[in-house]
Amino acid sequence: MQLKRPAHALRNRLIAASCTLLGATTARAGDLTSDASPAADAAPASDAAQTVADTALAYYAENNGRVRAIEPIVNLRQDLGDERALSVKLTFDSLSGATPNGAVPSARAQTFASPSGHSLTAAPQTYTTASGQSSVVSSPIYTIAPGQLPMDPNYHDQRLAASGSYQMPWSSLTRTTYGGDLSYEHDFISVSGNGALAHDFNQKNTTLSLGGNYEFDFVRPIGGAPVAGSDYTLFEKQGSHTKHDANIVLGVTQVMTRRWLSELSLSYDRLNGYLNDPYKILSIVDGGGNVTGYLYERRPDHRARSSVYLENRLALDRAMAGLTLRYMSDDWGIHSETAQLKLRWSNAERDRYLEPQLRWYRQTAASFYTPWLSSAGSSYITAASSDERLGAFHAVTWGLKYAARFPDDQGGDGSELSIRAELYRQTPDHRLPGPGALSGLNLYPGLQALLVQVEWRFGY
Amino acid sequence: MASPCEVLLDGTDEALVRELGALAAGEAWRIEGKYSRYRDDSVIGRIHRCADQEMELDPETAALIDFAAQCHEISEGLFDITSGVLRRAWKFDGSDRLPTPAAVQALLPCVGFQKLTWRSPRLTRPAGMELDLGGIGKEYAVDRVHDLLAARTSLPLLVNFGGDLRADRARPQGAWQIGIERPDTERKAALVLELQRGALATSGDARRFLLKDGVRYGHILDPRTGWPVVGAPRSVTVAASSCTEAGQLSTLAMLQGAGARQFLEAQEVRYWIVD
């Protein structure tokens, strides 16, 4: 059959006929169900949320007058279509309270200077800064009562951080992500960049991913960076330093069964540069338990760390379970194990859930960790630190989260409001009793902390 | 609809998805029930009980008959909803039993849309003639179900009634993956298409044909001769913005027989032919 009219005219007539049919009958369909939208021939409802905003406010407090923090966070994620997405996150931290300075409690009162200080007397001192200027300042000092854990009560810090990441497809089965982070505190600036590649196979049941991260930090301690291992009372502090951290992660995610997802990842990183905590000191203690002096801590200038991580997620009828295991080991002699169990129970309408969580953590001490230096061996140290975060300890975290979802009237994901609380308890292991006068003192107080966070996530 | 029908919705609210599924099923069954040849209480049943008498049709049926009238004119008589009577001579069961030319000839006086008296919404059907909306009903149902759901939700959705389908929007993780099966091996898809939005309709002889002396007789009959169209491809899939439009284009292409590919090229539509 030869169609006498031009081809496009046929198609146009067909399009017109179809539109007439579907337009004419749309109004009819509206009569059939009372729930149908009254403007039955209106365009379909507005697009599903293209941007998801996640806002959270967290409050953190440690026991014993230690660190307290408030942290608001805003995270925006924009779906750009074609499997591309852009995320931006802003974090602000405000910390205050008291932080241990690394010295041990003593049977006698002790006086220390805050990081900005240059002397242990309260009298104004004249000192010259690195740039050659002279200033006269009163050194902020603090006195610790006998038996108390030495803590600097003037700790306060504020941090502003911004990070962004961009995800795009490379091919139908491969995705790439690029990101950058910037973090600013008046004594510490961090810049980092990361990239990752993920490839699906096996009908998207298996995903292999490779990622790398490089971070460069400027460490600009208040009052200058102390000469590592030097005598604290000499206040040999000057200048600033840098460090960097290169990290690589290889991961595989596998759908094991319809209800079980498993993820295994291997991570390796190398840190180089100024790895000391410039504000931490160690007490020199003699055989009788008397504190005879203090030294600034000293850590190696490199660190290599490897870890293995295994996460399993199970979907049950109205519940989800997650079990995570992690093992980490580094060349400072620290190795640690973490086990975490999370359960999520949803109600029948799937718009509320309760999520209890339990985490157990244990780590061994760094080879150069020592709660104090004995005076015999203090003349020269290659590395020593009494920072409890490098010591042997175990910790348990109990957590509970409650969330409520409010679906939007378009059937999209709507918004979610949640509140969670976590109680953390850290207990030092291998508590060596102090010699002499220190033997009756509690040199290892441990730590307890409470975290409460309220989060609201919504799309628009 | 005589084929598996499904609606795919990408969402997380189970209650809503169930409700939308029930709505879709309800609408599909409503259309099927209303236009089924096999039910006495259907509109078609009512039309077939009323010979040589003017009857008034409801607006939905009138719109469908109007559409069929326009397609009959656009195709210069190749597309004809009165050609259903030819089924009495043709049984497409995969065997080699062709009807006799006389049997086909006897039915031809009852075929021809122009023989109906149609002035919307009034129809007069001469005795002996039959109406069969099977050629447009399924695609129409896809479009109706799609519009019904799209007005109620912004979730990505795909309506698929036996290969005639329409997608509203792509899922966040990418386009819908559609497999077009090869007519003689039911399992392995010959092609996988990616559909973001729009409709696909397929016409083919995959399951209904006669095979004699090595010649395959597809079930698409030329209403002017009463015999299957010669040289038609095994299956034609067309993409368009509505399933009704896509269905008509694929049917018209098949009706061109050996000229299917040339016809589709001339329409400047996206198409896939499996020979």
Percentage of chain A lying above the pLDDT 90 cut: 55
pLDDT at B80: 93
pLDDT at A33: 27
Averaged pLDDT score across all residues of chain A: 86
Cβ-Cβ contacts under 8 Å, B248 against chain A = 14, 17-18
Q: What is the pLDDT of residues A311-352, one digit of tens each?
A: 999 988 788 999 999 999 999 999 999 999 999 998 877 789
Is residue A379 pLDDT above 70, yes or no?
A: no
Instruction: Sketch the domain layout of chain A as residue ranges.
Output: 52-103+153-459
In which residue are the tokens 């410039």 written? A278
Mutate to test the interface with A, among B34, B144, B157, B261 (most CBs of A within 10 A): B144
Q: What span, in angstroms and rounded, lies between the C-alpha atoms of B275 and B212?
A: 18
**Mean pLDDT throughout A39-62?**
65
Q: What span, in angstroms and rounded, lies between the C-alpha atoms of A238 and B42?
A: 94
Nearest to B63 among A24, A42, A413 (CB): A24
Parallel, antiparallel, or unpaired: how do β-strands A393-406 and A373-374 relate?
unpaired
Nearest CA in chain B to A49: B154
pLDDT higher at B39 or A370: A370
Angle at A112 between CA A111 and CA A113, to 5 degrees: 135
Q: Which of A441, A134, A78 is nearest to A291 (CA)?
A: A441
Chain A interface, Cβ < 8 Å to B: 1, 3-4, 7-8, 10-11, 13-15, 17-22, 24-26, 28-29, 32-33, 35-37, 40, 42, 44-48, 79, 83, 172, 349-350, 407, 410-413
In which residue are the tokens 């338990």 written? A289
pLDDT at A185: 94
At A2, the pLDDT band (50, 70, 90 cuts) reads: very low
Rounded to a whole number of angstroms, the distance from the CA of B118 to the nearest CA of chain A is 16
Q: Which CATH architecture best describes the domain A52-103+153-459?
A: Beta Barrel (2.40)
Give the DSSP H or E segment for B28.
Answer: helix B14-35
Nearest to A411 among B78, B154, B268 (CB): B154
Nearest to B155 among A32, A35, A48 (CB): A48
Q: What is the pLDDT of residues B181-237, one digit of tens each?
A: 665 555 555 677 778 888 999 887 666 778 888 777 877 889 999 998 888 888 888
Q: How many helices (H) and strands (E) does chain A have?
A: 1, 23
Is residue B267 pLDDT above 80, yes or no?
A: yes
pLDDT at A37: 23
pLDDT at B50: 87
**Mean pLDDT throughout B47-66?**
90
Is residue A46 pLDDT above 60, yes or no?
A: no
Is residue A77 pLDDT above 50, yes or no?
A: yes
**Mean pLDDT throughout B36-61?**
88
Q: What span, in angstroms and rounded, lies between the C-alpha atoms of A17 and A23?
A: 10
pLDDT at A400: 97
Out of 3.10.520.10, 3.30.70.330, 3.40.50.1820, 3.10.20.600, select the CATH number for domain B5-274.
3.10.520.10
CB B239 within 8 A of CB B208: no
Least confident interval from A137-146, A244-253, A403-412, A444-453? A403-412
**Mean pLDDT throughout B68-89?**
90
pLDDT higher at A56 or B97: A56
pLDDT at A127: 62
Is residue B6 pLDDT above 90, yes or no?
A: no
pLDDT higher at B3 or A178: A178
**Mean pLDDT throughout A375-389?**
80
Size of interface A-B (CB pairs under 8 A): 129
Rounded to a whole number of angstroms, the distance from the CA of B244 to the nearest CA of chain A is 6
Is residue B253 pLDDT above 80, yes or no?
A: yes
Highest mean pLDDT: which range of A18-22, A395-399, B168-172: A395-399
At A364, the pLDDT band (50, 70, 90 cuts) reads: very high
Q: Is the peptide bond before A278 cis (omega within 30 degrees of 0)?
A: no
Q: What is the pLDDT of residues A308-317, one digit of tens each?
A: 999 999 988 7
Q: Which of A302, A361, A300, A364 is nearest to A334 (CA)?
A: A364
Nearest to B244 among A1, A18, A33 (CB): A18
Q: What is the ipTM of this complex?
A: 0.84
Q: Please give the backbone phi and psi of residue A445, each rounded to the nearest 5 degrees, phi first.
A: -70, -15
Q: What is the pLDDT of residues A4-32, one digit of tens each?
A: 445 667 888 888 888 888 886 554 333 32
CB A361 within 8 A of CB A395: yes
Say what the pTM is.
Answer: 0.60
Judged by CB atoms closer than 8 Å, whether chains meet at A28 and B60 is answered as yes
Judged by CB atoms closer than 8 Å, whether chains meet at A17 and B259 is answered as no
